[in-house]
Amino acid sequence: MALVSLFALSLFHVFLVGSQPNSSQQASGHQGAQSLLGTDNLSFPWSRLRLPRYIVPLHYRLLLHPDLENLNFTGSVQIQIDVQNNTNWVVLHSKGLQISRATILNQNLAHLSEQVLPVLHNPSHEQIGIFSPRVLSSGQKYFLYIEFGAKLAEGFYGFYKSTYRTSSGETRNLASTHFEPTSARMAFPCFDEPIFKANFSVRIRRSPEYISLSNMPVVKTVKISNDLIEDRFAASVKMSTYLVAFVICDFKSVTATTSSGVKVSIYAAAEKWSQTNYALEVAVKMLDFYEEYFNIRYPLPKQDLIAIPDFQSGAMENWGLTTYRETSLLFDPPTSSISDKLWVTMVIGHELAHQWFGNLVTMKWWNDIWLNEGFARYMEYISVEATYPELKVDEYLLDTCFAAVGHDSLNSSRPISSPAENPTQIKEMFDTVSYDKGACVLHMLRHFLTDDVFQSGIVRYLRKYSYKNAHNQDLWDSLANVCSDMLLNVIFRLWPHVLISNCLLQYLFAGEHLDLTAMMNTWTLQKGIPLVTVTRKGSRSVVTLKFPHLFSFLWHIPLTYKTDVSSTIHRHLMTTQTDSIHIGEEVSWVKVNADMTGYYVVHYEDGGWDEINKLLRENHTALSYKDRSHLIHNAFQLVTAGHLPINKALDLIGYLRYESHTVPLLQGLGYLEAFYRLIEKRHEPELTQNLGTYILRFFRAVIDQQTWSDSGSVSERRLRSEVLSLACHLDDPPCLERAQQSFKDWLQSNGTLNLPTDVAEIVYTVGAQDNDGWTSLLHAYNNSLSAAQKHKILFALTHSRDTNKLLELGVEGKVIRSQDLSSLILMVARNPRGYQLAWTFVKTNWDMLVKRFQLGSFCIRNILIGTTGHFSSPKELTEVQLFFESIKEQSSQLRATQVALDNVRKNVRWFQRNLEPLRDWVNDQLK
């Protein structure tokens, strides 16, 4: 699942930025049809959150009939089950379903009882128990048959309703699913845990004006009556319930075929059909790439990608039917920017990587969801770099790792693999740690093992556990066994020499047989990020591992470093708290963590930062752009942690006047912008003015070089958007004048003028500052068929003075869709005139927000962290604490509340340490 892209939320996100049933358990009540057997003498047979293991589902035969006029559905499911212990009970999941009938049949489809069976409900565990008066015998297979119905869900989980509006103003309904992680039980009774893989045969009844889609192709369509059609889909491969999907809509599609014969189709509302072509090209390329990279054929005959108008996350990897938010799939050349194009490409790459990582091989339980999401996030970069090298995706991997470091530096962070039992805890696992830290740890491992060994290991892992479930240890074993096998075959010369030497290198690197499990457990089973300090003593560098947060953690760190005397990247595996490396007395500088392939922070003690500063000013190209960006990040990270004075870090980025590469330029500019955006909310008018003046003066040449066009490379276009956006925010007169003229031209064209996509958001933002412009933009937002354009306009509208009306529209959910409410709140919170309003809105509407987005969802997490991330005073910290105390029953279940508090505390400490030194430094620069 791809999460929706977010802004940097705070200064410091940028910086660091089977048992037997228990008959004593009390029943929770019985719903649905009355049973002749009665329930008076029965109590719910199971007390645990996880289902018993003594019944295993083998095959679901599911029939669904959604009514898109009355917004409800009925259905039936026949589940073939394998009974492994004698029992009278079948316990499975159901949430919000009205069960009207339940029976159990033997292998010959004969009823075990003439009576309707009792169904007991345990709503707190989202489970039902079905009682059979006849014992189900161990070693036998049976069929469980259930009839049920429910309303199509409100919100974004389960089997839910969605709508879209045509350009003529007609509202049309559709029904779609989103089951990950625990919502398949909202659509049909099922064994809703990832380990219960089964085959699924789906039938869907619909009106003739609609189409239906599911994981597999339609094999037969039957006319039930004049106004009812039944689509029968092929049986699926073996998969987990959260990957089942179905959509009933009236969309159009474009189709192509991969080189191996897989049919790929992109679906969207008819009026947005023209925006599907780029996604089709990407999906075909990506499937071809993954089949070659994983050396495993995509196992289904088709892959559908569909843009759902109401969708909470970025996308979802349902096998054979991936679902997307419109901004994640549709590309409209007149209004979509290069950043939009990159986003669509990466999200498709993410979801198609899941067809192997997650779908073919699935984690055993949600504590290891990073095996799905960390891999898919990392494969975004590998796949896009291979298929669309012109997008320069490698330049963005650093930002992913910087975001992970920012989150991981907080006390409230967690290990990559963490316990999670109930649905709220499971939803919270879909966070920065699983996605970004998971990807960056895999990046480190790939560089440690080398590309070839890494690829061979994951292919071995995917082959061995195809259609099965796996956990961390299985991955480490697969990777380690590649090296073992290669070394065993050295004698016989059976492996390419390059692979032999790579594996031999890693064994020598470790000094003995590589214990990959021991190494990787230090990265996945403990939280935080190591701080490595470097001290020069003659011909040696003493490397010290320091523990953050006073925890006695020790990591096995694959150190890399480079010096001025050699172009070689040196390697050293650090497994102790203090280590020493011989670098030679002739070395004048050493840069540790080459190209930031490792996930650790580096501090250069005893004048080491002065050496780095001197190097950057005199010969910055001696280091790669990744090294330069990493040094800037490390310096400001250390400022936040209290290890480096802020003036040292600010002096370090002074070299940027000579910098020509986008990534380090944006890294340095990003910190200054983060300072500015926090300080402008602190009632520090003089410092705010002076810092803005300094930024404009320092980056004057870079600002003046920008054109208001879509010309240039991807890197140049990215720089243009960022630099001009900040310049206009700082009230730079040339920037404002150009934006105002462009907005005037756009208005006079009645919206027919296509603004350059890289600067359109800037133009809209400047234009939204007066009432006429704001009204015109809201009208354009309401009528636009481009999700990318709507996002740009909404951003602009939130940076005006009238943000309260926007929040009201977001609650109403008509002009601004409910799916965009969480993003809307975060946008308002970025506005120095709106951040208090956003926080007040969250407090006032908390119950509504939880109902709409569900407790534990990434939307709730982002709302909490995003609206509080702009606070930096003790008074504001107290406000946040009091609110969380007032919703203690809910906040106590959320890790996000601790993250939010940690962020505010860190902001408070930063201001206490750095406000006056920053004021003095800026004043000195302006003299």
Intrachain domains 48-250 and 364-525 with the same fold? no
Quote the pLDDT of residue 24. 33
Quote the pLDDT of residue 547. 52
Phi, psi of 247 (to 5 degrees): -135, 135
Categorize the per-residue pLDDT at 578 as very low, low, confident or very high, splitting at 50, 70 and 90.
Answer: confident
540-546 and 531-537: which strand pairing?
antiparallel
- Identify which of 463, 454, 458 has the alpha carbon closest to the alpha carbon of residue 475: 458
Categorize the per-residue pLDDT at 12 as very low, low, confident or very high, splitting at 50, 70 and 90.
Answer: very low
Q: Which helix (H) or strand (E) holds 468?
A: strand 468-470
Quote the pLDDT of residue 511. 39
Quote the pLDDT of residue 56. 98
pLDDT tens across 152-167, in order? 999 999 999 999 998 8
pLDDT tens across 823-878, in order? 999 999 999 999 999 999 999 999 999 999 999 999 999 999 999 999 999 999 99
**List of residues 6+ apart from 737 with CB closer than 8 A:** none
Specify whether the CB–CB gap between 381 and 449 falls below 8 A: no
Is residue 508 pLDDT above 90, yes or no? no
Is residue 33 pLDDT above 80, yes or no? no
pLDDT tens across 468-507, in order? 999 999 999 999 988 766 655 543 444 444 444 455 445 4
Alpha carbon 856 to its chain's center: 14
Percent of all residues in the chain with a pLDDT value above 70, rounded to a whole number? 91
Quote the pLDDT of residue 373. 97
pLDDT tens across 657-676, in order? 999 999 999 999 999 999 99
Categorize the per-residue pLDDT at 751 as very low, low, confident or very high, splitting at 50, 70 and 90.
Answer: confident
Categorize the per-residue pLDDT at 20 as very low, low, confident or very high, splitting at 50, 70 and 90.
Answer: very low
Give the CATH number of domain 48-250. 2.60.40.1730
The full length of the chain comes to: 927
Instruction: Dig out the tokens for 723 from the structure.
Output: 């630099």
For the chain, domain boundaries: 48-250, 364-525
Distance between CA atoms of 745 and 752, rounded to whole angstroms? 10
Quote the pLDDT of residue 841. 97
- Identify which of 860, 910, 909, 901 has the alpha carbon closest to the alpha carbon of residue 882: 901
Question: What average pLDDT does the segment 808-818 reach?
Answer: 95
pLDDT tens across 183-219, in order? 999 999 999 999 999 999 999 999 999 999 999 999 9
351 is catalytic: yes
Alpha carbon 309 to its chain's center: 19
pLDDT tens across 99-128, in order? 999 999 999 999 998 888 999 999 999 999
- Inter-CA distances, 733 with 234, 720, 729, Å: 63, 17, 10
pLDDT tens across 593-617, in order? 999 999 999 999 988 999 999 999 9
Quote the pLDDT of residue 581. 87
Q: Letter for the amino acid at 189?
A: P
pTM, two decimals, is: 0.94
Annotated binding site for Zn(2+): 350, 354, 373
**List of residues 6+ apart from 41 with CB closer than 8 A:** none
Is residue 724 pLDDT above 70, yes or no? yes
Edge-to-edge strand list for the sheet holding 252-257? 252-257, 263-268, 302-308, 321-325, 315-316
Report the CATH superfamily, name and number, of domain 364-525. Answer: Neutral Protease Domain 2 (1.10.390.10)
Quote the pLDDT of residue 5. 57
Quote the pLDDT of residue 37. 53
pLDDT tens across 332-362, in order? 999 999 999 999 999 999 999 999 999 999 9
Quote the pLDDT of residue 497. 47
Catalytic residue, chosen from 326, 351, 722, 761, is 351
